């Protein structure tokens, strides 16, 4: 009984204490202020002052984006024309050589000895020709005339004299015959006249035969000159071949270019099948690119091409299409196109990888903005701009394209004539209130559409 009374007393004390605490807490509570009682709650957000630009449309070229590698315009593995031992290699890998410059020398001692021997034979043949010509009374370079040969001239003179004597003797014999018939001359005188006529005719025939023999001898001598002349020409050919053999011991660059490899060293023996050096001509240089089957029909000879390489990211190189492979590679479904680039400063080298654009003859319209208007998010790989709708900034996701200086092409998400913010972008958010610089119509406070038109400075790339 005593325990029950004690338990009730404890419960009553706890209840009374709880009631007092609740009453004290209620006495300190205050009412929640309304919008009218809190002036900060009803204040408008401060406008953000921005600079603006207008999206414009302009004509841009249409191109085919391709990749490829540079190759030398000409590449030659220089080989010798003769066998021999290497005596000198005056060039190193990477050196620039002009056309005709010496790249190697072979042992030329044997070749020079053969040249001396050939020249000696030539001199002998020339002497034989001169001797044969002098025998016929010819001068070097003159046309052969048998009648001008001294022996022929002498034989002809003798023949003509004998003919004259024979004619005189025949005339005298005829006269004696006429005188003999009437008896005016004796038999002995008549017989003597006939004998003299026959003797003169015989001498004339002998002189004729001697003249003909002299002509034949002159002709044969002339043929001997021809043989001697042929021997001289053969000797001269041997000299030319020996001279070339000496020249072949000096190996020269076939064209101007860079030495990309040297395959021999001093003391090595080489043959016409041996490689001496490799020379590449890179002025101009060729770029070989792969064009997909779908775009192959759009590529034509002479089209302009711009290209870039990783080694020179800030430079753009220009060339033209100079060759188109008509066949499509069945494995890659692409065709090879060659582009020739001047490369006068030797900047581009064979083997460099390049991205290129084959510019098409007709362009298209594209929207451009200042690069300052674009915000990019690397984490989401996205880009956005703040489009101004009256006095309100609205976030717009866009797809940017290539950059050209301080401008960027917008592929999608923005239209020509729309206005975007270009300054204070960090303070803007979707729905932010904006104002324009006071210099643009003394704008103060929140701008309006009329003030927007006054402040608008169209971007002109």
9-26 pLDDT, tens digit per residue, is: 554 454 445 554 444 444
pLDDT value for 77: 96
Residue 7: pLDDT over 60: no
**pLDDT tens for each residue of 25-82:** 444 443 433 334 444 444 567 899 999 999 999 888 888 999 999 999 999 999 999 9
pLDDT value for 32: 32
**pLDDT tens for each residue of 288-308:** 999 999 999 999 999 999 999
Lowest mean pLDDT among 140-154, 234-248, 289-303, 369-383: 140-154
pLDDT value for 248: 95
pLDDT value for 337: 97
Among 453, 393, 404, 403, residue whose Cα is nearest residue 429: 393
The average pLDDT across 145-172 equals 78
pLDDT value for 172: 83
Say which residues have a Cβ less than 8 Å from residue 457's Cβ, sequence separation at least 6: 51, 52, 53, 54
pLDDT bin (cut points 50, 70, 90) of residue 144 is low
3-state secondary structure 110-123: HHHHHHHHHHHHHH
Say which residues have a Cβ less than 8 Å from residue 229's Cβ, sequence separation at least 6: 129
Count other C-beta atoms under 10 Å from residue 222's C-beta.
Answer: 19
Residue 6: pLDDT over 50: no
pLDDT bin (cut points 50, 70, 90) of residue 160 is confident
Residue 180: pLDDT over 80: no
| Bond before 284 cis per omega within 30 degrees | yes
Gap between the Cα atoms of 205 and 106, Å rounded: 70
Gap between the Cα atoms of 137 and 344, Å rounded: 65
Gap between the Cα atoms of 167 and 176, Å rounded: 14
pLDDT higher at 217 or 166: 166
Strands (E), 113-214: none
> What percentage of the chain carries pLDDT values higher than 90?
53
Gap between the Cα atoms of 87 and 265, Å rounded: 9
Query: Measured in whole angstroms, how far is the alpha carbon of residue 371 from the centre of its chain?
Result: 37
Per-residue tokens: 27: 């006495």
Residue 356: pLDDT over 90: yes
pLDDT value for 9: 52
Lowest mean pLDDT among 78-82, 230-234, 362-366, 425-429: 362-366
pLDDT value for 29: 40
With contact defined as beta carbons under 8 Å apart, do 50 and 391 qualify? no
Count other C-beta atoms under 10 Å from residue 24's C-beta.
Answer: 9
Per-residue tokens: 209: 């035969």
With contact defined as beta carbons under 8 Å apart, do 58 and 408 qualify? no
pLDDT bin (cut points 50, 70, 90) of residue 454 is very low
pLDDT value for 164: 87
For 31, which DSSP code?
Answer: P
pLDDT value for 302: 95
By the 10 Å C-beta count (0-12 exposed, 13-18 middle, 19+ buried), 402 is classed as exposed
The average pLDDT across 373-400 equals 92
Count other C-beta atoms under 10 Å from residue 374's C-beta.
Answer: 19
The average pLDDT across 132-151 equals 64
pLDDT higher at 46 or 337: 337
Give the best-scoring range by mean pLDDT among 198-207, 227-236, 264-273: 264-273
| Domains detected in the chain | 49-60+365-455 (2.40.420.20), 80-107+249-275 (2.40.50.100), 110-246 (1.10.287.620), 282-363 (2.40.30.170)
pLDDT higher at 215 or 270: 270
The average pLDDT across 417-446 equals 76
Residue 316: pLDDT over 80: yes
The average pLDDT across 441-451 equals 38
pLDDT value for 459: 39
**Average pLDDT value for the chain:** 82
CA angle, residues 169, 174, 175, in degrees to nearest 5: 95
With contact defined as beta carbons under 8 Å apart, do 412 and 398 qualify? yes
Gap between the Cα atoms of 196 and 187, Å rounded: 14
With contact defined as beta carbons under 8 Å apart, do 155 and 214 qualify? yes
Gap between the Cα atoms of 159 and 210, Å rounded: 8
Per-residue tokens: 281: 């001509």
The average pLDDT across 254-265 equals 94
The average pLDDT across 97-107 equals 95
């Amino acid at each position: 009984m005593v325990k029950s009374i004690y338990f009730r007393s404890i419960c009553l004390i706890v209840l009374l204490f709880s009631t007092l605490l609740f009453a004290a807490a209620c006495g300190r509570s205050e009412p929640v202020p309304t919008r009218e009682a809190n002036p900060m709650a009803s204040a408008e957000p401060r406008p953000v002052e921005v600079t603006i630009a207008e999206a414009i449309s302009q004509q841009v070229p249409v191109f085919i984006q391709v990749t490829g590698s540079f190759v030398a315009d000409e590449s030659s593995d220089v080989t010798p024309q003769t066998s021999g031992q290497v005596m000198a290699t005056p060039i190193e890998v990477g050196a620039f050589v002009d056309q005709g410059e010496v790249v190697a020398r072979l042992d030329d001692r044997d070749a020079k000895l053969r040249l001396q021997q050939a020249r000696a034979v030539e001199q002998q043949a020339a002497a034989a020709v001169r001797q044969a010509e002098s025998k016929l009374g010819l001068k070097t370079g003159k046309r052969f005339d048998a009648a001008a040969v001294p022996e022929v001239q002498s034989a002809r003179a003798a023949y003509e004299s004998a003919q004259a004597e024979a004619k005189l003797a025949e005339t005298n014999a005829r006269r004696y015959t006429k005188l003999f018939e009437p008896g005016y001359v004796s038999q002995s005188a008549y017989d003597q006249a006939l004998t003299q006529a026959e003797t003169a005719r015989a001498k004339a025939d002998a002189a004729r035969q001697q003249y003909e023999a002299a002509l034949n001898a002159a002709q044969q001598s002339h043929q001997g000159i021809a043989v001697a002349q042929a021997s001289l020409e053969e000797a001269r050919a041997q000299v030319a071949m020996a001279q070339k053999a000496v020249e072949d011991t000096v190996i020269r660059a076939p064209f101007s270019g860079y030495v990309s490899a040297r395959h021999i060293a001093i003391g090595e023996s080489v043959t016409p099948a041996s490689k001496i050096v490799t020379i590449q001509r890179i002025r101009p240089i060729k770029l070989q690119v792969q064009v997909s089957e779908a775009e192959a029909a759009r590529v034509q000879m002479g089209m302009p091409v711009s290209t870039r390489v990783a080694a020179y990211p800030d430079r753009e190189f220009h060339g033209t299409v100079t060759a188109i492979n008509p066949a499509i590679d069945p494995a890659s479904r692409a065709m090879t196109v060659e582009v020739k680039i001047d490369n006068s400063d030797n900047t581009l080298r064979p083997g460099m990888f390049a991205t290129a654009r084959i510019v098409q003859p007709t362009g298209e319209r594209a929207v451009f903005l200042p690069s300052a208007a674009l915000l990019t998010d690397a984490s989401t790989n996205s880009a956005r701009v703040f489009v101004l709708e009256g006095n309100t900034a609205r976030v717009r996701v866009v797809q940017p394209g290539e950059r050209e200086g301080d401008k960027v092409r917008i592929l999608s998400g923005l239209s020509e004539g729309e206005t975007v913010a270009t300054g204070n972008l960090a303070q803007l958010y979707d729905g932010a209130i904006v104002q324009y610089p006071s210099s643009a119509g003394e704008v103060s406070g929140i701008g309006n559409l009329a003030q927007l038109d006054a402040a608008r400075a169209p971007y002109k790339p």
